[in-house]
Amino acid sequence: MESLTIKIKYLVNFHEITGKKLDEISFPPGSDLYTVAAWLEGEYGIKVPAPRVLNLLNGHGWNQYPEEMKTTLNDGDTIIIMPSISGG
């Protein structure tokens, strides 16, 4: 495999920042969440992980994976970037 393609969905105010609701991005095999974080900062100025930002990979928070930011991406993965939700 020469590259892997993931989807990045932007919810709430993040689709206003990016000007779109979805990106489909190709990365080299072996790319990890650090790669995505660097791409987001370079492309849109979005810094992740960050306070008040919820980052999901296939429905799970990035910090829920044992390897956290070193978690390797797979072809077809979906990442969601959205503001964290608080309340009580």
Domain boundaries, the chain: 4-83
Domain range 4-83, CATH architecture: Roll (3.10)
The parts of the chain modelled with pLDDT lower than 50 are: none
Is 30 in contact with 60 (CB distance < 8 Å)? Answer: no
pTM for the whole thing?
0.91
Return the pLDDT at 85.
76
Cα–Cα distances (Å) from 40 to 13, 46, 66, 87, in that order, read 15, 5, 22, 27
Return the pLDDT at 84.
85
